[in-house]
Amino acid sequence: MKLSTKGRYAVTAMMDLAINDRNGPVTLAEISSCQGISLSYLEQLFAKLRKVGLVEGVRGPGGGYRLGKPVDKVTIAEIILAVDESIDSTQCQGTEDCHAGDRCMTHQLWEDLSFRLYEFLNGITLSDFIKRPEVKRVSVDQGSTSNHINKMFQPVTGSH
Amino acid sequence: MKLSTKGRYAVTAMMDLAINDRNGPVTLAEISSCQGISLSYLEQLFAKLRKVGLVEGVRGPGGGYRLGKPVDKVTIAEIILAVDESIDSTQCQGTEDCHAGDRCMTHQLWEDLSFRLYEFLNGITLSDFIKRPEVKRVSVDQGSTSNHINKMFQPVTGSH
DNA sequence: CTATTCCCGAGTGAATCACTAGGTATTAGT
DNA sequence: ACTAATACCTAGTGATTCACTCGGGAATAG
C-alpha cells in the first residue's frame, strides 16, 4: 500500500470521471488542462486503470473515458493499488528468527497496520465524494445514510 | 501524506523501540541487523525522528535510542510525516477557476480524503501494537478498552 | 584510554517520477 | 472517402528520490 503523488493524480482523475459521469465520456485533454498534468503521463496512468477494469475508453471524436464500474463500487484502495504498486515487504518476512528470537515481531505488526490501512481506504468509494457535490466540508449530519465514513470524523477522542 | 518503504522502515523501527522500551536504549546496530536495513541509512532516518522529538539518543557504550514520548502519545501519522515528507498538493490549488468553472472541485475532494487519512493514522499509536504482544491478529474482543481501533475491523458492510 | 555508541556530511548507482516525442488505431461528422 | 478527434502504444530523458557506502567526528561507560 504505497501512496504518492502518482496515486493522487489517479484518484483525482477518477473523481473527475465520477463527477462528470452523466455528461458522456471525459477526455484526457480536459483532465490534463484542468489538473495541470501532462497528457501523455495521464495516458500512462489510464493504461493501468484500464488494465484492471476501473475505466473504459471510447475512441473517436466525442470519445474519452468512462468509469468501468458503478461509482459506489470503485474504492480508493483499488485506484491506488492500480497505479502505485504495493510496497515490497521483503526483508526476512516469513522467517522471523532474524535475531534474538523474541524481538522482530515488527513484520507482523506492520502487516497488521498495512491491512488496516487497506481496509480503511477500501471502505471509501468515489460515490462518497460525489454525493455531496457542492457541500464543502460537511459538518457531521448525524444519523447519516452514507454509513462508515462519518465515523472517521468522530472521536479519536482518547489520543490527542 | 506520503507513504513508502521509507515510512515503513521508520514505523517498524519505532515499533522495535516501543517493544524493547523497558530494557534500556536500543542500538541502531540491532535494528539494522534485525530488520535488514543499512546502519547508515537508519542513522539518517533517526536524525529526522530526533529532530521532531520522536526519539532521543544516548551516546556511549550501552547507549542507543529511546522513545522521546510515552508510547501512547506516538502516532503513526507523526512517524510517517517525520521521514516521508508530505505530498505537494500544488497544481492550481486555491485558485480553483482552472477551467469550465463547475468542474475541478477535485482538489477540495482530495484534501478531504487526505485529511481523513491523516486522522485515521493519527488515531493509531504505538501502544495499540505493543498492547497485544504475542497475540497475533486479535479477533474482535467486543467492548474493548482500546477504543477507536477495532472499529476499523468492523463493517465496511455496504461496499464489498 | 579504549571501545562503543550516537552524530554528521558528502558522494553514488539504481530506481522512480513526470514528462516529451512520435507514432498507430478507431470512429463521428462532413 | 476524407478529416479531425480521440484513444492507444513505445521509447527515451532529465530530475528527484531511494537506499546505500565511506569517512570521519563527539560523547561516555568501563
CATH classification at residue B12: 1.10.10.10
Task: Quote the radius of gyration of chain B (alpha carbons, Å).
Answer: 19
Give B53 to chain A, closest Cα distance, Å: 16
Q: Is residue B104 part of a domain?
A: no
Q: What is the dihedral of CA B76, B81, B84, B86, to 10 degrees?
A: 130
Q: Which three cell numbers stand for residue A70?
A: 458503478
Q: What is the pLDDT along chain B (160 residues), one digit of tens a residue?
A: 788 889 999 999 999 999 888 889 999 999 998 888 899 999 999 999 999 999 999 999 999 999 999 999 999 999 999 998 766 655 554 444 454 444 567 888 888 898 999 999 999 999 998 875 444 443 333 333 333 333 222 222 223 2
Q: Three-state SS string across chain A, please?
A: CCECHHHHHHHHHHHHHHHCCCCCCECHHHHHHHHCCCHHHHHHHHHHHHHCCCEEEECCCCCEEEECCCHHHCEHHHHHHHHCCCCCCCCCCCCCCCCCCCCCCHHHHHHHHHHHHHHHHHCCECHHHHCCCCCCCCCCCCCCCCHHHHHHHCCCCCCC
Protein CB footprint (7 Å) on chain C nucleotides? 3-10, 16-22, 25-29
Angle B1-A81-B159 (CA atoms, 0-180°, nearest 5)? 95
Say whether pLDDT at A130 is over 50.
yes
Asked whether strand C has any atom less than 7 Å from the CB of A84, the reply is yes
Query: Does the structure show a pLDDT above 80 at A145?
Result: no
- Whole-prediction pTM: 0.80
A49 pLDDT above the threshold of 70: yes
The answer to whether residue A13 scores a pLDDT higher than 90 is yes
With a cut of 80, say whether residue A156 has pLDDT above it.
no
Higher pLDDT: A155 or A12? It is A12
Residues 64-123 of A with CB within 7 A of strand D: 64-65
Phi, psi dihedrals of residue B158, rounded to the nearest 5° = -65, -35
* All three cell numbers of A110: 506492520
Q: How far apart are CA B96 and CA B115, in angstroms?
A: 19
The answer to whether residue B90 sits within a structural domain is no
Question: Contact at 8 Å (CB) between B63 and B13?
Answer: no
CB atoms under 10 Å from CB of B140, counted, come to 8
Predicted confidence at residue A90, as pLDDT, reads 53
User: Would you give the end-to-end CA distance of chain B in angstroms?
Assistant: 26
Look at residues A25, A133, A38 and name the one whose alpha carbon lies nearest to residue B91.
A38
> What per-residue confidence (pLDDT) applies to B11?
94
Question: What integer best gives the mean pLDDT of chain A?
Answer: 76
Q: What is the pLDDT at residue A23?
A: 85
CA B158 to C1' D10, in angstroms, rounded, equals 41
Q: What is the DSSP letter of B24?
A: S
**What's the length of chain A?**
160
Is the Cβ–Cβ distance between A46 and A28 less than 8 Å? yes
**By mean pLDDT, which of A59-63, A108-112, B73-77 is the weakest?**
A108-112
For helices B106-122 and A5-19, give the axis angle rounded to 10 degrees: 130
Contacts A–B by Cβ distance under 8 A = 173
Which nucleotide in the DNA or RNA is closest to residue B47, CA to C1'?
A: C7
The residue-averaged pLDDT of A120-137 equals: 76
Number of Cβ within a 10 Å radius of residue A31: 28
Query: What was the pLDDT predicted at B50?
Result: 96
The Cα–Cα gap between B106 and B110 comes to 6
- Beta-carbon contacts of residue A75 (< 8 Å; ≥ 6 apart): A121, A122, A123, A124, A125, A126, B159, B160
Q: Is residue B115 domain-resident?
A: no
Residue A47 domain-assigned (yes or no): yes
Q: Is residue A38 part of a domain?
A: yes
Q: Which pLDDT value is given to residue B89?
A: 57
pLDDT of residue A89: 57
Q: Greater confidence, A159 or B13? A: B13
Query: Where would I find the H helices in chain B?
Result: 5-19, 28-35, 39-51, 76-83, 106-122, 127-130
Closest nucleotide (C1' vs CA) to A4 is C17
How many structural domains compose chain B? Answer: 1
Residue B106 domain flag: no
Is A160 within the bounds of a domain?
no
Could you tell me the residue range of the domain that residue B49 belongs to? 5-85+126-152
Q: Angle A106-122/A76-83 helices, nearest 10 degrees?
A: 120
Q: Is B22 a member of any domain?
A: yes
Confidence tier at A2 by pLDDT (50, 70, 90): confident
Whether A125 and A66 have beta carbons less than 8 Å apart is answered as no
